[in-house]
Amino acid sequence: MDRGRLQTTRVTTKLVADACGVSVGSVDRALHGRPGINAETRERILETARQLGYSPHLLARGLVTGRSGTVGIILFDLAHQFFTQLATALIAGLRAAGKVAYVALTDKDPGQERAWLETLANLGVDGIVLVPITKGPEIESFVQGIGRPVITVANPLGEAAEHVGIDNRRAMAEAVAHVAARGYTRVVYLSPPLSGPPEINRAALEERLAGFEEGARAAGILGCSQVVSCHPYIEVVEEAVRKPGIRTAVLCSSDMYALKVLPHFRACGIRVPQDAGLMGFDNIETLRYVTPALATVDYRIEEIGSRTVERLMAALEGRAAPPPGPVPHRIVPGETL
């Protein structure tokens, strides 16, 4: 293997060929176990290739085959556990499928999303996993024009790309049902603002909001419930919860909100769950270190990752894609309701 060499020239197929007194064609056939080569010349080639420390130049291979063996992963950031767990699952799954992953972060900036898509396409990635921050015809046609499979996660992109994710609407509706079943007759639903530029993709959050409304209506508590999606929200939530007479729970569109609300309630003397219920969504890792245990909605991010890789590889190999359908979720009861 002669590692330790420092500036010696690269070991190419040509070099191996010369060393064996054969042509690069034969070396290639040997290296890939392709037919059309004598068994013992193949062994001889393989042996010297190993001795010389040959390893394929993946750029060159990618240039000629059109397959680079790489996949791009485009996320908002790595600050939220959803993304880190997703990235972990994707990287591992892709590795198992023989692909190496680029990781690109958009910071929720449409410009960066676009720039990364272009850069990755120019790098010849075989496919892209995208958590889209934009939506609409422009990105959709751009994504389709990339000419390589793109799988979206969390926020879908219409017909432009295959999608993997949970059924946010249904999950949130079930969360409301769970809250109602615990005896709460009023829900304060906490969500980031859903207004703003129309090209921003808030599909997942919109689905959750729709799920809240659906669930609240089904439980007959929509009338006295309330959506808080302003900023700052914490005082508004506090005030809403202080309304006397009705058992009120704060239902958060994601755990992060609950993690902000909990210490605030503690600081201002609102006891959870005696004075107000609290429920999150996503079941992020941090919850393991939080008391009281937060009620939340759980789903296996690894499952999202593996399904995404599965679909991507199916598209790449021309196999039939596995049947679509959302990744399952489940309600996690906690001490906060």
Interface with a copy of itself (CB under 8 A) = 3-7, 55-60, 62-63, 68-70, 77-79, 84-85, 87-88, 91-92, 95, 100-105, 118-124, 141-142, 144-145, 147, 259, 262-263, 266, 285-286, 289-291
Residue of the chain from 24, 200, 259, 316 that contacts DNA (CB under 7 A): 24
Q: Which of 273, 253, 175 is nearest to 219 (CA)?
A: 175
**Which residues, at least 6 apart from 99, have a Cβ–Cβ distance to it below 8 Å?**
69, 70, 71, 126
User: How do 150-153 and 186-190 pair as beta strands?
Assistant: unpaired
Among DNA, a copy of itself, none, the one that 24 touches (CB under a kind-dependent 5 to 8 A) is: DNA
**Which residues, at least 6 apart from 2, have a Cβ–Cβ distance to it below 8 Å?**
51, 52, 53
* Rounded distance between C-alpha atoms, residue 335 and residue 321, angstroms: 41
Q: Least Å distance between CB 52 and DNA? A: 11
* Rounded distance between C-alpha atoms, residue 280 and residue 295, angstroms: 6
| Nearer to a copy of itself (CB atom), residue 8 or residue 274 | 8
Binding segment (CB under 7 A) for DNA, from list 16-24, 169-177, 236-244, 283-291: 16-24
| Nearer to DNA (CB atom), residue 26 or residue 283 | 26
**Cα–Cα separations (whole angstroms), residue 67 to 33, 115, 158, 170, 321:** 19, 21, 26, 39, 20
What is the per-residue binding string for DNA in 33-62, x denoting contact by CB under 7 A? --xxxxx-xx-----------x-xx--xx-
Binding segment (CB under 7 A) for DNA, from list 22-30, 193-201, 242-250, 262-270: 22-30
100 bridge partner residues:
70
Q: Which of 259, 260, 299, 305 is nearest to 282 (CA)?
A: 299
Binding segment (CB under 7 A) for DNA, from list 31-39, 194-202, 225-233, 301-309: 31-39
Among a copy of itself, DNA, none, the one that 103 touches (CB under a kind-dependent 5 to 8 A) is: a copy of itself
Q: Which of 13, 35, 33 is nearest to 24 (CA)?
A: 13
Instruction: Provide the binding-site residues for DNA, judged by CB under 7 A.
Output: 9-10, 12-14, 21-26, 28-29, 31-32, 35-39, 41-42, 54, 56-57, 60-61, 63-65
